[in-house]
RNA sequence: GACCCCUUCGUCUAGUCAGGCCUAGGACUCCAGAUUUUCAUUCUGGCAACACGGGUUCGAAUCCCGUAGGGGUCACCA
């Protein structure tokens, strides 16, 4: 059976797509692409109280931003309630499951005793073989799976290897709650089976759940999917990333100016590698990625490395793409006040600009002087630089520029250099005030490039503005 | 606590399956230097690790055992 690989990402709608979930989704997506299979999305919204449309949208948006498109319609687990119930009923009528009438208090006590005695098996199976006529009236039972008492349950995990646990450790799990809703354990198994999921790739916090799920598969006499439990992503402190730990949603990184390509690349390198390769294009990722190569150790999330990868992607990104990303930011910051030639200037200056930014926010900030109309504002350092004798320098430059016919970088450089020689000043002494006058800042791309892109009229105008603003 | 998983520079990792090519390689960070009109890029160099203890072997980061540390899971949550 060629092309039988079907993977899935099954997040619960908690309000955002967090970074660990994004990595899980990425690995599932890559594996599907690598094998020419399908990647499906299922929303685990069994708990209706906790899932909202907004939360579901956040997942869609997060995945879309990362470019992790899914095949077919996203499936809502909740919509499959009837099927889950039917499966539980089958199990019940086949004698593979039973009704349990324990009260929450009873269970609580049982658990305490079991823990005190150091046992893992928390439920003692007291209703397992009890006569149904003993059932108390007025109590809705839960349905529990009759799990094997002896032997062991084994998982051949692609990442973790063979993991086995004694069945004595596993108690009879609840399949259907008293209100008739399925538990997560039942729902995943039924859904994964019905969706024909071939590979279950998920965080290894599910590894111990997998044993219980295997028991459900076995009771149903269904084929097992291939399991791949990938190590968790940890925070800088080494603990599991969680909301409490300040784990952020992918949209938070987006608003920090991280590029989705960089995010994917960074996430991919956490727990997986291809020799010494650091920058891996999506094409290569698809070609090279295989779940079996995922490591078993958890890794920590490192913002500095992400930032560095992000810088690389910005430096190598397409000019128009970058302009389209920063334009809305600049317009938002300055209320749409854009110079007529603003966009052209941004495009012309972008190659130099992109080498100087670690993220899109910074890029937008550094590019602003191109986009805004006169008069520009000066930051504190620029203001300081323009005080005193700088005005005289600007005036001299202004008249030198005035006569320049061929307004190109090389010519401009000659003019400024000549001026430096004539006044026996160091180039820096002249270039810095010029930079401050023209960009409003002390840091920018090469000054001659800027002069050319801005154009003669604009430069002369900005010099006038600066002279006027700083003449005392 | 019980069960399961993990352990190479501060971090991500190569090397571990098929022991010698490893005086352990790369990347990020940091430091120094070169380039330079500022900043950045780029380039060069540097600091820095096989958790520990036993074995097996001519030889172990690699195999075995133990210890320590870290993580995960133990719900009528997902």
In the predicted structure, residue A62 carries a pLDDT above the cut 80: yes
Q: Which residue has the tokens 């010029």?
A: A434
Distance A274 CA to B55 C1' (A): 34
Over residues A234-251, the mean pLDDT reads: 75
In the predicted structure, residue A3 carries a pLDDT above the cut 60: no
Centre a 10 Å sphere on the Cβ of residue A223 and count the other Cβ atoms it contains: 9
Distance A356 CA to B49 C1' (A): 33
Residue A242 has what pLDDT?
67
Q: Which residue has the tokens 């009704």?
A: A99
Nearest nucleotide to A428 (CA to C1') is: B37
Nearest protein residue by Cα to C1' of nucleotide B1: A118
Nearest protein residue by Cα to C1' of nucleotide B38: A443
Closest by alpha carbon to A165, among A116, A217, A213? A213
Distance A412 CA to B58 C1' (A): 73
Over residues A444-462, the mean pLDDT reads: 94
Nearest nucleotide to A159 (CA to C1') is: B5
Residue A384 has what pLDDT?
87
Residue A214 has what pLDDT?
96
Residue A225 has what pLDDT?
96
Residue A10 has what pLDDT?
96
Over residues A242-268, the mean pLDDT reads: 88
Closest by alpha carbon to A451, among A412, A414, A423, A417? A412
Over residues A280-284, the mean pLDDT reads: 96
Torsion of CA A105, A14, A200, A5, to 10 degrees: 150
Catalytic residue among A243, A337, A384, A426: A243
Residue A32 has what pLDDT?
97
A15-42 confidence digits (pLDDT tens): 889 999 999 999 999 999 999 999 999 9
A190-240 confidence digits (pLDDT tens): 999 999 999 999 999 999 999 999 999 999 999 999 999 999 999 887 777
A8 φ, ψ (degrees, to nearest 5): -150, 155
Closest by alpha carbon to A242, among A15, A33, A85? A15
Nearest protein residue by Cα to C1' of nucleotide B26: A276
- The whole-angstrom separation of Cα A410 and Cα A182 is 74
Distance A188 CA to B76 C1' (A): 16
Distance A6 CA to B17 C1' (A): 27
In the predicted structure, residue A403 carries a pLDDT above the cut 90: no
Nearest nucleotide to A176 (CA to C1') is: B76
Distance A98 CA to B20 C1' (A): 60
Active site includes A243? yes
Q: Which residues of A231-240 are buried (b: 16+ CB within 10 A; e: fewer)?
A: bbbbbeeeee
Q: Which nucleotides of B are covered by protein (CB under 7 A)?
A: 1-8, 10-15, 25-29, 37-42, 70-78
Structure tokens that stand for A277 in this block = 């390769």
Which pTM does this prediction carry? 0.93
CA–CA–CA angle A61, A64, A66 (5° rounding): 110
Q: Which residue has the tokens 């972008």?
A: A350
Average pLDDT taken over every residue of chain A = 91
Nearest nucleotide to A205 (CA to C1') is: B72
Residue A117 has what pLDDT?
81
- The whole-angstrom separation of Cα A436 and Cα A127 is 82
Centre a 10 Å sphere on the Cβ of residue A25 and count the other Cβ atoms it contains: 27
Residue A469 confidence class, pLDDT cut points 50, 70, 90: confident
A125-158 confidence digits (pLDDT tens): 888 888 888 878 888 999 999 999 889 999 999 9
Nearest nucleotide to A141 (CA to C1') is: B76
DSSP state of A203: E
């Amino acid at each position: 059976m060629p092309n039988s690989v079907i993977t899935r990402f099954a997040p619960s709608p908690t309000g955002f797509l967090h970074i660990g979930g994004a990595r899980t989704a990425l690995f599932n997506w890559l594996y599907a692409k690598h094998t020419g299979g399908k990647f499906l999305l299922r929303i685990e919204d069994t708990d209706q109280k906790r899932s909202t449309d907004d939360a579901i949208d956040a997942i869609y948006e997060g995945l879309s931003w990362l470019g992790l498109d899914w095949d077919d319609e996203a499936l809502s687990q909740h919509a499959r309630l009837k099927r889950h119930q039917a499966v539980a009923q089958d199990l019940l009528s086949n004698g593979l499951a039973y009704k349990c009438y324990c009260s929450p208090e009873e269970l609580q006590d049982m658990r305490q005793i079991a823990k005190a005695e150091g046992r893992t098996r928390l439920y003692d199976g007291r209703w397992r073989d009890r006569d149904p006529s003993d059932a108390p009236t007025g109590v809705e039972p839960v349905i529990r799976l009759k799990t094997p008492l002896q032997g062991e349950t084994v998982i051949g995990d692609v990442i973790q290897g063979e993991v086995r646990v004694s069945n004595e450790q596993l108690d009879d799990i609840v399949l259907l709650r008293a209100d008739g809703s399925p538990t997560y354990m039942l729902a995943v198994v039924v859904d994964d089976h019905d969706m024909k999921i071939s590979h279950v790739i998920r965080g290894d916090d599910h590894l111990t759940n997998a044993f219980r799920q295997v028991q459900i598969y076995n009771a149903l006499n269904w084929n097992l999917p291939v399991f791949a439990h990938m190590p968790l992503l940890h925070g800088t402190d080494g603990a599991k990333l969680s909301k409490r730990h300040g784990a952020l949603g992918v949209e938070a990184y987006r608003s920090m100016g991280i590029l989705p390509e960089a995010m994917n690349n960074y996430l991919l390198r956490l727990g997986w590698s291809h020799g010494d390769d650091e920058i891996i294009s999506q094409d290569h990722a698809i070609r090279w990625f295989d779940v079996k190569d995922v490591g078993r150790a958890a890794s920590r999330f490192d913002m500095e490395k992400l930032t560095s990868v992000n810088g690389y992607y910005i430096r190598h990104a397409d000019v128009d793409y970058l302009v389209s990303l920063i334009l809305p930011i600049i317009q938002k910051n300055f209320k749409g006040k854009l110079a007529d030639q603003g966009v052209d200037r941004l495009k012309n200056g972008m190659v130099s600009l992109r080498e100087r930014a670690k993220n899109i926010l910074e890029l937008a900030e550094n590019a602003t002087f191109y986009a805004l109309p006169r008069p520009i504002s000066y930051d504190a350092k620029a203001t300081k630089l323009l005080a005193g004798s700088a005005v005289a320098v600007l005036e001299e430059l202004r008249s030198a520029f005035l006569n320049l016919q061929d307004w190109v970088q090389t010519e401009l450089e000659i003019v400024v250099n000549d001026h430096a020689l004539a006044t026996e000043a160091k180039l820096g002494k002249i270039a810095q005030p010029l930079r401050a006058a023209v960009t409003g800042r002390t840091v920018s791309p090469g000054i001659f490039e800027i002069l050319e892109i801005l154009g003669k009229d604009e430069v002369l105008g900005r010099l006038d503005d600066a002279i006027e603003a700083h003449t005392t």
